[in-house]
Amino acid sequence: MYNSISMYTLKIIKRIAVVALFFTVSSGAVMAKDYQVLAFGDSLTAGYGLAKEDGFTAQLQKYLRDQGHQVTIINAGVSGNTTSGGLARLEWSLAGTQGGKPDLVLLALGGNDALRGIDPAISRANMDKMLTILQKANIDTLILGMMAPPNMGEDYENKFNTIFPDLAEKYKVDLYPFFLDGVAGDLSLNQGDAMHPNAQGVQAVVRRIAPIIIDKLLTP
């Protein structure tokens, strides 16, 4: 009789443990959604000249996770990429994400177009097409805008700099006007080329952009 009671009790305990585990895993899955953010850009996104942990995507992911947000930042930055290069690879970059649909895309292209003096009309058309693709896929987007260097001349500057606010308005997406705001021109925050931020510069960029992502993606 002692043995039969012990076996019965053991079975009950096992059943309780299984049920408890089920509810723990289930509620954990609900509470700990892993948000996917695709950072789609050029060398600024890729982390040119920096150790992996010092790059934009790594620092952004760490910042968000340190704030208690379960977010994975996918680095889809390609050094030297123009808007034409970005357009050519956008769809297969999206296909490489979980389910082919990230929770948010950071669209950060255009800097190399300006540096190469590419016709702003071409850059605008490429950005327009990328935003059309993202809109049709119902993917939330945050544009990280760029500004033309002053040496390109006032006419070029005006045509280029209006691309990002114009398209943000057209597609009703959020815009961070200038990726390098607060960093560009500050030699202490840039690498030797005075164009790419150093680790401290990236940290400054992340501290400005991360709150927008938290508000847009992670705030109920």
Where does the pLDDT of residue 60 fall: very low under 50, low under 70, confident under 90, or very high at 90 and above? very high
Q: Which of 42, 43, 69, 103 is catalytic?
A: 43
Q: Which of 69, 103, 123, 196 is catalytic?
A: 196
What's the average model confidence in pLDDT over 48-60? 99
**Residue-level pLDDT at 15:** 52
Cα radius of gyration rounded to whole Å, the chain: 23
Per residue in 170-185, pLDDT tens? 999 999 999 999 999 9
**Residue-level pLDDT at 16:** 43
**What global pTM score does this model have?**
0.85
Per residue in 91-110, pLDDT tens? 999 999 999 999 999 999 99
Q: Which of 66, 155, 188, 193 is catalytic?
A: 193
Is 166 annotated in the active site? Answer: no
Is 34 annotated in the active site? Answer: no
**Residue-level pLDDT at 22:** 42
Q: Which domains does the chain have, with CATH numbers?
A: 33-218 (3.40.50.1110)
Closest of 63, 43, 216 to residue 141, by C-alpha = 216
**Residue-level pLDDT at 106:** 99
Is 42 annotated in the active site? Answer: no
Per residue in 108-142, pLDDT tens? 999 999 999 999 999 999 999 999 999 999 999 99
Where does the pLDDT of residue 220 fall: very low under 50, low under 70, confident under 90, or very high at 90 and above? low
Angle at the Cα of 189 (from 196 to 200), degrees rounded to 5? 100
Give the C-alpha separation, 185 to 174, whole Å.
Answer: 25
**Residue-level pLDDT at 31:** 52
